[in-house]
Structure 1
Amino acid sequence: MKPTRNRAQGRLIILRLLIGLAVLVLSGRLWQLQMIDGETYRVLADRNRFRQVDVAAPRGVIYDRNGQILARNQPSFTVVVVPADLPED
């Protein structure tokens, strides 16, 4: 019974070492992504905030049964400025 117990304990030690090594590798990669490559990913994230939205083509003017216009197509634009993104000067 003793050799089986020693074998099981040896396997547990190997398993613990492998788990510790995996945690160490993942922690190192996390540190690299945040501390070394963090600025690169911040710039990529800033660029990723802008997106193009395609608007469907106009379908024409809508009239009621008396020939009066209910809805017409009129171009409109929306410009948004985030003060936090503006330069300080």
Structure 2
Amino acid sequence: SGKKKGRRCLTKRGDSEARRLLHNAAMAASRTSAWKGFYEALRERGLSTTQALVALARKLARVVFALLKNQSEYSPKAV
């Protein structure tokens, strides 16, 4: 893991509706104070807007999964 060389590619695998909702959530989150820094850091690394939004959507999905798994509430300071 983490040793892949080459270009990253965005796929259209999985449920299209869930992918659309995650992308919309990432677009909204990229404008909030809690997630704007993460989004801007991705953009400064050279990722395109779409790539940065997909990375943010993936991060949001991981946070949501952890919240559901641990049955806890979201705290922006913990992120």
Looking at both structures, which has the greater relative contact order when contacts are Cα pairs under 8 Å and sequence separation is at least 6? 2
TM-score (norm 2): 0.31
Task: Please identify which structure carries the higher helix content.
Answer: 2
Q: Radius of gyration: which is bigger?
A: 1
Task: Please identify which structure carries the higher strand content.
Answer: 1
